[in-house]
Structure 1
């Protein structure tokens, strides 16, 4: 009789331990579900910001076609409201908090665009479908809840069995046959509990592997998106500008065919040379290499070469003051960014500003590197160019990668002045 009571007590302890383990597993699954949801929403927000920066479409509202393109690229549903909802009053703060708690499990986020001179304030809501792995997590949670209820039922059954066992022992009515039957039942119950624990552990390991695979795929997607944005900047700042300069050279040669054939021939040869250089740059980008000119010449020589390429027979004069010693302390990536910013600024001065005098300076000031590009062209209203084109946006993006500050100063008829300052970590004090 005492042996049966001890066995029942041991079985109850085991069931309680199993019940505690199931409760911990349920809470753990719920916390990881919330963590995956939070990280997925944060990743989607980063992708949305990157798409907005890459598309360069400015703030909302947008056209229906543009919304469909963004929704397809992001894999989500995008809704644009006329303007963001007003802040809740103090009287409705509790109601707003209740609504927020009910929406906390939704797979969506909002992005507010402030009001500007041409557009009113608006709010963009992005909704997307949760990853398929979370459906598997939900099934695991349901299985854990089912096992939890089974363990509770078994615990109650064991408690009842212990109560009846004690009463039977006190009354002396429990015989040997019933003792053997109870022992067989407890043995079977222990075997079932062990099998259920093993199955739960296997499902947990499978879910962890699925989460790791989903995280790895998301990391690859983010890297591909960043590489696409970088390649777009490089193509615009380098290859497209070189092709445009070659086109201007050929156009200048066309205008000189009737009056000065010798100069026209020289211009055509310069255009062919520029096209060949561009072809080499394209091959370099395809092979994943930096531009060949950055490896074979100094930064000052590279700036002189690009001014000769972009000039295309114009009557512009250049004042180039380059501190090659300061430039030599920089790596290939900062030099490439500086050269592309200079190329874009000089090209804009020639194409849009019709400048005849252009100054390019690179010098060291204390612990910082300063790049100045100034012209005497038409200029423009800075306040009206906040949206900018690909050129201004690419220059700002490259300045951010350098960790520097990019400043524009211009006005109609007064030319344009661009100043970039940054402090490279490798530069000695």
Structure 2
């Protein structure tokens, strides 16, 4: 074999080796790309599955509450009404004053229980989340907290933000309720600000108090309420940003594509 042939052989060998290396690199890149696509697909399917589970759960929960509410109204409520009428009849027919007083006390207890059950029945069968705009639901929660006179809740919103999804409205309302309750119980705050607006293609719910705050790192291990709010936000495709520091209050921001 001549010198030229050796050189050509070495060049061809190096060329094939380089092509072999390029093939390996291309194969690895394609493998990683397909792996990422597969993982993204699995994550997408998981999110869809979670959304379907949540929707089903909410539907079952709503139907169950409505069923219990109707049973309270139609069954237990009617029996208590009948018991109240019996006690009134006994009080009318009985001539002993000391017994009449006991009967009247029983009647009062029955009527109070009946009133409370009717309130419970009404709340269980209430479909206000489905029928009312989300801004009105949030505003009503703020009014309820203001009526407690423990702190001042300020509600700021841009009118006419339309949300048709019961699921999204329900989750935003529950997150707001939990934040408000936590602030009242734990933060010693004087003011809470609830802001609901549309910003750059997102619906943004911002909850903020001026309370004592806390160390978020220490709370990560046992903050079940915070974890629940985060999961709820993620299920409806939202981003969740929670900020708090000692003596500087607490702030929660939820953003949902819209």
TM-score by length of 1: 0.32
Match in the other structure for 1:407: 241
2:209: which partner in 1? 375
Residues 369/227 of structure 1: CA separation in 2 closer, same or farther (3 Å cut) = closer
Deviation at 1:312, TM superposition (A): 5.5
Over 3 Å counting, the alpha-carbon distance change for 1:341 and 1:295 in structure 2 is same
Q: Secondary structure at the match of 2:196?
A: strand
Is 1:293 matched up with 2:128?
A: yes
Equivalent pair of 1:298/1:324 in contact (CA under 8 Å):
no
Contact 2:203 2:255 (8 Å CA) reproduced: yes
1:365-388 per-position Cα deviation (integer Å, ceiling 9, x unaligned): 121111100001111111111134
More relative contact order in 1 or in 2 (CA 8 Å, sep 6+)? 2
Match of 1:320 in 2: 155
Asked if residue 334 in structure 1 is aligned to residue 168 in structure 2, the reply is yes
- The reply to whether residue 422 of structure 1 matches residue 256 of structure 2 is yes
SS in 2 for 1:369: strand
Label 1:324 to 1:401 Cα distance change in 2 as closer, same or farther (>3 A). farther
- Work out whether residues 146 and 153 of structure 2, in 8 Å CA contact, stay in contact via their aligned partners in 1: no
Inter-CA distance 386–401: structure 2 relative to 1 (3 Å threshold): same
CA distance in 1, matches of 2:241, 2:115: 34
Separation in structure 2 between the aligned mates of residue 372 and residue 339 of structure 1, nearest angstrom: 12
Matched residues in 2 for 1:310 and 1:273: separation? Answer: 23
Q: Deviations over 1:340-395 (max 9, x none)?
A: 11111111111111221110011111211111000011111111111344421221
Paired residues of 2:133 and 2:163 also in contact (CA < 8 A): no
Cα distance change on mapping 1:364 and 1:355 into 2, 3 Å:
same
Larger radius of gyration: 1
Partner deviation per Cα, 1:90-129 (whole Å, 9 max, x = no partner): xxxxxxxxxxxxxxxxxxxxxxxxxxxxxxxxxxxxxxxx
In 2, Cα distance between the equivalents of 1:416 and 1:295? 30
Q: CA deviation at 1:399?
A: 0.6
1:251-330 equivalences under 5 Å are: 279-281=121-123, 283-284=124-125, 292-311=127-146, 313-326=148-161, 328-330=162-164
Consecutive unaligned residues of structure 2, counting only runs of 5 or more, are 1-48, 63-113
Count matched residues.
157
Instruction: Point out where structure 1 has 5 or more consecutive residues left out of the alignment.
Output: 1-221, 236-271, 285-290
**Are 1:299 and 1:324, in contact at CA under 8 Å, matched by a contact in 2?**
no
Q: Distance in 2 between matches of 1:228 and 1:329?
A: 16
Per-residue Cα deviation, 1:227-262 (whole angstroms, up to 9, x for no partner): 69956xx89xxxxxxxxxxxxxxxxxxxxxxxxxxx
Name the structure 1 match of 2:195: 361
RMSD of aligned alpha carbons: 3.4
Q: How does 1:176-325 map to 2 (within 5 A)?
A: 226=53, 230=57, 279-281=121-123, 283-284=124-125, 292-311=127-146, 313-325=148-160
- Cα pair 1:311 1:350 within 8 Å, conserved: no
- Given that residues 358 and 375 in structure 1 are in contact (C-alpha distance below 8 angstroms), is that contact kept between their aligned partners in structure 2? yes
- CA offset digits 1:287-339 (Å, max 9, x no partner): xxxx522234332221222223344522411221122322x144221111111
